Structure formats: C-alpha cells, structure tokens
Amino acid sequence: MIPMSLAEIAAAVDGRISETADPEAIVTGGIEYDSRKVGPGGLFLALPGEQVDGHDFAAKAAAQGAVATIASREIDSAAIYVDDALRAVAALARTVARRSAATVIGVTGSNGKTSTKDLVGQLCASLGPTVATEGNFNNELGHPYTVCRVGPATRYLVLELAARGLGHITELCEIAPPDIGVVLNVGISHLDGFGSIETTAQAKSELPRFLAPEGTAILNADDPRVARMAESTRAQVITFGIRSGADIAAADVEPGDGRHRFTLRTPDGEASVELRLWGGHHVYNALAAAAVAWRLGASPDHIAERLSEAGRQSERRMDVFTLPDGTTVIDDSYNANPASMGAAIRTLGQLPTAGRRIAVLGLMGDLEEQSTECHRRVGEQASEAGIDELIAVGDGTQPIISGADGVAATTHVPDQTAAIELLRKRLRPGDTVLVKGSRHRTWDVADHLRAKEDNDQ
C-alpha cells in the first residue's frame, strides 16, 4: 500500500483513532483481512462474520506487526474505529487510487474476464511493476483490497470488473477510475440480476461510458453489442477482432492441438503468436490483452513473445492435465454460462485424443426462464462437436440430454457422487474428459480426477 499515517487513513475512512494508537504511525505494508497474512507495518481489516469474527484476531495481527486494525467494535489493540468495515476499505482504496500514478486498466464482459485479466496482468508485468486482481476476487471486498495493494512503484493496476446488476460497474469505477477499459463480449449470464441480454449490455457499457476523454476504450469489434459502445464513450476507441477490420486483429488462425496459433496484426506491424492456453476462445482474450499492451507502447514482437509465454494463472479454468494412464482431463469447472460452455465443448471436440471424448456437465446457474433452452442447446453443441459420451450432473440438466441426439452415449445422474462412480466404470486410458458447470456443481468430479493424478504417480 502507498504509505500513510494512521491519521491520514482515519480521515480517508471517516474513522476514529483509538487512544492506544499513534496517529503519526505509518502503515508501510499492505492491508489484510486474514490475520495470518499480516506482517510488520501492515493494516488489519477486522470483518465480522457468521462463524469467524475478525475482531477476535486483532491482538494476533498486532503481535505480528500490524500498525493498527480497522474495527467496528472495541478491541484492546491499536485501532481505527468505523461503522462499516467494507465501506471503510472502499473509501481507503479511493484514497490510494487518487495518490497513485499507476495506469488503471479495467476488464469486463460476460465471458473471459478472469483469463483476459490474467493475460493483461502478465503483459503489463513485462512493462513495469503491476498489481492485478487475484483469481476472480472482484467483489465488494476483493476490488478495493486489490486497489489497496498498489505501492509507490506500481505502474499498472489491472482490475476485473464484474456486475450482477445495473450500476455495479460504475460503483467499481468510482473507486479506481480506469484509464483503459476493456469490454470483451455480451452474453447470456446472471439473468437473475440483469433480466435480459439487453440489460447485460447496458451494464457492461458502464465501463466505456465512465472513461474520460483522454482514456481508451478497447472494444470487441466482432460482438455487435460491444462494437456499438463506441458511440457512447468519450474516450479513444481501439477495436480487436478476427472477423472484422479491427485495429488489433488475428489472421491465419490455426487450432493446432487446441492451443491456437495466429498472426497478430497491429498498426505497427505483425508478429506470430503460439498460445499456451487451451481453447479457441483465448484468441479473443489474447487480442484484448494485446490491444492494452499496444496502447501502452509495446511493440508487436514484444506482445507476441509475451502472449506466447503467458500461462494459466487462475484455478479450474481450462486446466488441461494428463493422468498417468494417458487420460486427458480438461478442468474448466470454475463456472459456466452458455458461451463458456460452448467454448469448452468445442475445445474438447478439437483436442487430439487416442480414446473417446467425454463431457461431464453440470447446471449453468442464473438463467431463469431461459434455462431449459440454454441447456438443450448445450446438448446440441456436444453433438455438433463430435462428443462420444455425455454425462449430465444434477437437477436441471436433463435438457442437455434431450438436446444431445447425436451423442452415442448419454446419461443423467442425480449428483456428483454418481458421476464419479460412473467415470470409475467407464473411463478408459487414452480418453479425454471435460468437466464443467456453474460454481461447485462439478468441483468434486474434477477433484476426484486430480486426486487420481496425484495417487497414481
């Protein structure tokens, strides 16, 4: 964190300094809500919880070197007292962002936010000290927590901007106003919060609309809803795409073994990219990241080299590994919506395999009245991709089976335990298996396969 005295922090969060704290003491470390991570010069954020109350660990944090604790009830160690700890960390993040000279890059979209943010973070790190959202820690705690990690030397701050309703992205932008805003796509997701794809587009457009005239909006030219956002932003617009005449484009795209190759085209020249990431959807993610790096002054050769070196940084996202018996596992189980499910199924269909292609698919959540049709379409996509066997897991996934007429073997199972038992019986050496579903709905299946990898070594 940018060094600040307790008096400055108290003013930023509208808090009261305890009598046991020194207002002139300087916080030089980071802010942490996990007392185990607090170090000398740090600031501890005590969050009340249903099972664990952070206030109970304030003394431990102090013993580990915390200068003070942001607290909402009385504690024995040095404290800054506030009414609401989450509001306090957001207010502190605003102050950190104002004091920082870092270029702020915001990434949003219905699909691919985390993977693209990871690519942008790796490219930016090749240009200077970078702070980026960890995993998809992008909620009301994770966003300001990430901003507060910015230090005096930070040149780039890469933030994943998620929303479940209108106004959410604007609220995040107000904490750390982006200089560069990336919109990847608009798809069917979180309909419980948005209600329709049109409302989703309106929510995602909050990012380019927020940008100042001197800012830059990076927009997917191949997504009509995103491309139209150029009309509503005051910022400079840079486009990326494959099918259109975009500023940053991919030509001669080849699937390879599932890790795609393409020629990166920029206004400054061309360079060859060979991705280490699995799946064709990463071509768009890579183009978005390339557009950011090009905007920051990187050459096409530098961008292509770094994209070709970039790896997966977040768990359960297109994590491809091979078991000792030659079975290949695609763990894309972190989350799912119609677009990401389709992308994962296409990847399974493209991967070379000595055996069968098997898809273990869980429910896609938050689809409301469109759930049946969206799940039926998943079955159709499995048929189109040449999947050999499909296992649909849990209630609500029956339409996947009804749509999968072209799949030779289809089975609906009630839960993950049943899916694991079925895999034990049917999985053969050389098969390739995809595991995907909305949060937690296929995690046990993926973990079972990963444990098999570890146990069979």
The CATH classification of domain 319-455, taken from the options 1.10.3210.50, 3.40.50.2000, 3.50.50.60, 3.90.190.20 = 3.90.190.20
Residue range 312-341: mean pLDDT, rounded: 93
* SS3 state at 296: coil
- C-alpha–C-alpha distance, residues 335 and 159, integer Å: 19
Task: Report the C-alpha gap between 364 and 194 in whole angstroms.
Answer: 16
Give the CA distances from residue 236 to residues 49, 172, 214, 230, in Å, rounded to whole numbers and listed in that order.
Answer: 44, 21, 7, 9
| CA separation, residue 450 to residues 303, 311, 428, 455 (Å) | 33, 19, 16, 9
Per residue in 161-202, pLDDT (tens digit) is: 998 889 999 999 999 999 999 999 998 765 555 668 899 999
H or E element that contains 361: strand 357-361
pLDDT at 150: 97
Q: What is the DSSP letter of 352?
A: -
The SS3 assignment for 314 reads coil
| Residue 436 pLDDT greater than 80, yes or no | yes
Within 10 angstroms of residue 34's Cβ, the number of other Cβ atoms is 12
Predicted local confidence at residue 454, as pLDDT:
57
- pLDDT at residue 230 in the model: 98
Each residue's pLDDT tens digit, 360-416: 999 999 898 899 999 999 999 999 999 999 999 999 999 999 999 999 999 999 999
What average pLDDT does the segment 435-443 reach?
A: 95
Kindly indicate the confidence band of residue 457, based on its pLDDT and cuts at 50, 70 and 90.
very low
Cα–Cα distances in Å, from 153 out to 6, 41, 98, 111, 293?
Answer: 21, 17, 14, 31, 19
Residue 439, helix vs strand vs coil: coil
Other Cβ atoms within 10 Å of 98 Cβ, number: 11
pLDDT digits over 83-129, tens only? 999 999 999 999 999 999 999 999 999 999 999 999 999 999 999 99
CATH of domain 4-86: 3.40.1390.10
DSSP secondary structure letter of residue 354: S
For the chain, the average pLDDT equals 95
**CATH C-level class of 100-309:** alpha beta
- Average pLDDT of span 246-267: 96
Domain ranges of the chain: 4-86, 100-309, 319-455
Q: Is the pLDDT of residue 14 over 50?
A: yes
Report the candidate in 172, 50, 70 with the shortest Cα–Cα distance to residue 58: 70
Question: Under 8 Å CB-to-CB from 435, ≥6 apart: which residues?
Answer: 329, 330, 331, 332, 333, 360, 442, 445, 446, 449
321 neighbors 329 (Cβ within 8 angstroms)? yes
pLDDT bracket for residue 35 (50, 70, 90): very high
DSSP 225-276: HHHGGGGG-SSEEEEEESSS--SEEEEEEE-TTSS-EEEEEETTEEEEEE-S
DSSP H or E stretch at residue 89: helix 85-99
| 289 close to 116: Cβ distance less than 8 angstroms | yes
The mean pLDDT of 240-265, rounded to a whole number, is 95
Q: Helices 300-309 & 113-125, crossing angle to 10 degrees?
A: 120
